């Protein structure tokens, strides 16, 4: 859409743009395949010399519309939807790595991402160095090697809620000839657009705020289209691909080489594609995303302030609070709110944390965050259960930590629920 239109308008009107007599609402093209009149045309589709869809594992009209909207919202050149956020992360890294490659990753990342990197991808021969994103430039520089292919961070980390200094980290990545890949799941493009701060690739778990109603799994990969893949570090993008009859991605697709390769190789070979129905649900969520993100942010700030003043609470982590060490970065990168997720520690420790959660009536205990309903989770006992104590400490998680995902219900009802549960312990 016209980039001059406001993001609220693009959330509603972007992607599907009906022509005369078309359905007003994005249709679900629930078809695995697409019919053509000539074998020759289909052959040209396989060569990327003609446009059109041929098999939903590679592309589908419903997905294409939602991908266009995602790219538009993040300010990217193109996007690709995946079956889940995990698949998006895997593709984002594997697309430019192979056995022998090295990745620099923030320690402040989602537990599932940490396992994917430190266990599964490590087994594939890809080496990872984990760094504290708040470390000095000199410290960070030590992590990079000649084989490093990318720097991976989360804008606002799940669940430790550290704000990444995107501008500085992008500068650091570029000084070492690699892209900055940012998981922007928590802020969504409503609250922060990492590409505007120098990031090169953005990924999402669309399962969270974007869907917003805890209904469909999904992920997204957005290519800023500005990184120079011909700098000598990325031969897989600039040399002939034998699995695609000698295609050279940078020559054929120019600024969209990275995205084209992810589609042509990874969707083709691994196939973690989003279903058209899930993409339709995601699109509905995107239409109301700005309204929800602002309400999440307002409610979360109110809950954070309330907890900070409560005698049973040891500390509250929410970058929207003035007392938070990331407040200055939040003011810069998240001026319109720091999303709905907060975490806090109970003075009385792990037992009290569990009893508090059991006492909540409105907030649901779920393995999920970032949707319309207020929910609560104990990271050390669930999402981060597989991590050792040292790994837990590195990702900022203590046994008494509670992750509270503030929903869009009325703030008075959320606070009343918290108070009655705190009183009961």
Ligand X SMILES: *Cc1c(COP(=O)(O)O)cnc(C)c1O
What is the contact surface with ligand X in residues (CB under 6 A)?
Answer: 84-86, 110, 112-113, 154, 158, 183, 185, 205, 207-208, 217, 219
Of the chain, the end-to-end C-alpha distance in Å amounts to: 53
Count of beta carbons in the 10 Å neighbourhood of residue 58: 16
DSSP state of 104: E
As measured in angstroms, the least distance from the Cβ of 384 to ligand X is 12
Please count the other Cβ atoms lying within 10 Å of the Cβ belonging to residue 376.
22
Measured in degrees and rounded to the nearest 5, phi and psi for residue 194 equal -55, -30
CA 91 to mean position of chain CA atoms: 13
Instruction: For the CB of residue 386, give the shortest distance to ligand X in the complex, in Å.
Output: 15
* Comparison of 109 and 237: residue with beta carbon closer to ligand X: 109
- Cβ-proximal residue to ligand X, closest one: 85
Residue 223 CB contacts under 8 Å (≥ 6 apart), including other chains: 71, 76, 77, 78, 79, 80, 200, 201, 256, 258, 259
Q: How far is the CB of 61 from ligand X (least distance, A)?
A: 23
Least CB distance from residue 155 to ligand X, whole Å?
Answer: 9
Nearer to ligand X, 31 or 215 (CB): 215
Whether residue 190 contacts residue 289, with contact meaning beta carbons closer than 8 Å, is answered with yes
CA 22 to CA 34: how far, in whole Å? 19
Nearer to ligand X, 45 or 293 (CB): 293
Report the nearest approach of ligand X to the CB of residue 208 (Å): 6
Of 257 and 273, the one with the shorter C-beta distance to ligand X is 273
Nearest distance, CB of residue 290 and ligand X, angstroms: 20
Least distance (Å) between residue 35 CB and ligand X: 33
- Other Cβ atoms less than 10 A from the Cβ of 257: the count is 22
- Judged by CB, which is closer to ligand X: 62, or 184? 184
Instruction: Reduce the DSSP state of residue 251 to 3 states and report it.
Output: helix
Query: Which tokens belong to 317?
Result: 């982590």
Three-state DSSP state, 313: strand
> Which of 188-220 are b and which e, b meaning 16 or more Cβ less than 10 Å from the residue's Cβ?
bbbbbbbbebbbbbbbbbbbbbbbbebebbbbb
- Select 110 or 144, whichever has its Cβ closest to ligand X: 110
Q: How many helices (H) and strands (E) does the chain have?
A: 19, 12
Q: How far is CA 63 from CA 188, 278, 297, 370, in A?
A: 19, 9, 29, 23
Q: Which is nearer to ligand X, 114 or 249 (CB)?
A: 114
Residue whose tokens read 């810069």: 332
Least Cβ distance, residue 82 to ligand X (angstroms): 9
Taking the least distance from each CB to ligand X, the nearer of 45 and 87 is 87
Closest distance to ligand X from the beta carbon of 412 (Å): 28
Residue number, 1 or 366, with CB nearest to ligand X: 366
């Amino acid at each position: 859409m016209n980039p001059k239109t406001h993001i609220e308008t693009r959330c509603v009107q972007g992607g599907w743009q009906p022509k005369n007599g078309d359905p007003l609402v994005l249709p679900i093209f629930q078809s695995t395949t697409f019919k053509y009149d000539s074998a020759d045309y289909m052959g040209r589709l396989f060569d990327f010399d003609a446009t059109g869809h041929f098999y939903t594992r590679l592309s589908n009209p419903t997905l294409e519309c939602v991908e266009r909207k995602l790219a538009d919202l993040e300010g990217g050149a193109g996007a690709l939807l995946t079956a889940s956020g995990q698949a998006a992360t895997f593709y984002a890294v594997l697309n430019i790595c192979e056995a022998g490659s090295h990745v620099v990753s923030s320690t402040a990342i989602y537990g599932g991402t940490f396992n994917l990197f430190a266990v599964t991808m490590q087994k594939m021969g890809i080496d990872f160095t984990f760094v504290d994103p708040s470390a000095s430039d000199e410290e960070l520089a030590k992590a990079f090697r000649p084989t490093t292919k990318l720097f991976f961070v989360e804008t606002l980390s799940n669940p430790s809620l550290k704000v990444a200094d995107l501008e500085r980290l992008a500068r650091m990545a570029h000084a070492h000839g690699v892209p900055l890949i940012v998981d922007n799941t928590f802020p969504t493009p409503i609250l922060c657009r990492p590409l505007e701060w120098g990031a090169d690739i953005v990924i999402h778990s669309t399962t969270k705020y974007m869907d917003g109603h805890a209904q469909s799994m999904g992920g997204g990969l957005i290519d800023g289209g500005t990184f120079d893949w011909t700098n000598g570090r990325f031969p897989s993008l600039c040399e002939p691909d034998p699995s695609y009859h000698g295609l050279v991605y940078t020559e054929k697709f120019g600024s969209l080489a990275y995205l084209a390769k992810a589609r042509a190789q990874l969707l083709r070979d691994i196939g973690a594609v989003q279903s058209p129905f899930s993409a339709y649900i995601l699109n509905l969520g995107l239409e109301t995303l700005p309204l929800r993100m602002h309400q999440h942010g307002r409610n979360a700030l109110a809950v954070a302030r309330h907890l900070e003043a409560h005698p049973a609470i040891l500390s509250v982590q929410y970058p929207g609070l003035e007392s938070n060490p990331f407040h200055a970065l939040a003011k810069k990168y998240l001026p319109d709110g720091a999303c709905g997720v907060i975490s806090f520690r109970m003075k009385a420790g792990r037992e009290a944390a569990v009893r508090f959660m059991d006492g909540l009536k409105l907030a649901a205990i779920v393995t999920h965050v970032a949707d319309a309903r207020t929910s609560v989770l104990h990271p050390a006992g669930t999402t981060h259960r597989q991590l050792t104590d040292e790994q837990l400490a590195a990702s900022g998680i203590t046994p008494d930590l509670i992750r509270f995902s503030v929903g869009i219900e009325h703030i008075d009802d959320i606070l009343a629920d918290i108070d009655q549960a705190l009183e009961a312990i």
